[in-house]
């Protein structure tokens, strides 16, 4: 399940107790765990466990569920980490660019950053030629306001993103 980009911004830290953290840890290790098995693992009966999971979903702590798929198995032989610099930092210009990048299926992750670039994108493509065509298309569109794109190609993934670390106890 994809979460709209606008809901991924900074939100207030949720108050999580030991049981919430246990639920998150169990679900991050196995998103297909049954509520029965989850409830046994965290020490609750199934109904309160289900209610906690639903509360975590409603609060946005659990943003969705997905299968972790190997990009090469889908023909994405090129994975690029792309720094994008913009001409105009005005909110309307940023919004146009963000909407275009978020809507593009090859852009699988997009972060607004500070420093040398305004955005860092993870972009997948079947070939270098396809990646080059995409970046040329982005640079050629004056409505997007991109002034530069810097690409670092991933040669080998040594540790893929599989979720955020979950603390052992509430903070």
Distance CA 127, CA 135 (A): 13
How far are the Cα atoms of 50, 142, 156 from residue 45, in angstroms, in the given order?
9, 57, 44
- In the CATH hierarchy, which fold is given to the domain comprising 15-68? Arc Repressor Mutant, subunit A (1.10.10)
Q: Which CATH number, 3.30.420.40, 3.90.550.10, 3.30.70.920, 3.40.50.720, labels domain 71-153?
A: 3.30.70.920
Catalogue the long-range contacts made by 72-79 (C-beta closer than 8 Å, 24 or more residues apart).
Answer: 75/126, 76/124, 76/125, 76/126, 77/125, 77/126, 77/127, 78/124, 78/125, 78/126, 78/127, 78/128, 78/130, 78/131, 78/153, 79/122, 79/123, 79/124, 79/153, 79/154, 79/157
Mean pLDDT along residues 151-160: 96
Sheet with strand 119-125: strands edge to edge? 107-112, 119-125, 78-86, 146-153
Question: In the structure encoding, which two tokens stand for residue 84, read together?
Answer: 């994008």
Asked if 59 and 14 touch (Cβ cutoff 8 Å), the reply is: yes
- Model confidence over 95-129: pLDDT tens digits? 999 999 999 999 999 999 999 999 999 999 999 99
Q: Where are the chain's structural domains? A: 15-68, 71-153
Distance CA 45, CA 11 (A): 30
Mean pLDDT along residues 131-145: 96
Quote the pTM value: 0.82
14 vs 2, residue with greater confidence: 14
């Amino acid at each position: 399940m994809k979460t709209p980009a606008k809901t991924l911004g900074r939100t207030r830290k949720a108050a999580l107790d030991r049981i919430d953290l246990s639920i998150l840890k169990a679900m991050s290790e196995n998103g297909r765990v049954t509520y029965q098995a989850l409830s046994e693992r965290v020490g609750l009966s199934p109904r309160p466990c289900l209610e906690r999971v639903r509360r975590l979903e409603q609060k946005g702590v659990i943003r969705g569920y997905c299968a972790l798929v190997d990009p090469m198995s889908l023909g994405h032989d090129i994975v690029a980490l792309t720094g994008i610099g913009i001409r105009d930092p005005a909110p309307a210009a940023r919004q146009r660019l963000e909407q275009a990048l978020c809507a593009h299926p090859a852009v699988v992750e997009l972060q607004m950053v500070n420093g040398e670039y305004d955005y860092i994108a993870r972009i997948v493509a079947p070939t270098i030629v396809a990646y080059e065509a995409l970046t040329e298309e982005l640079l050629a569109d004056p409505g997007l306001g991109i002034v530069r794109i810097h690409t670092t190609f991933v040669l080998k993934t040594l540790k893929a993103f599989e979720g955020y670390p979950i603390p052992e106890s509430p903070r």
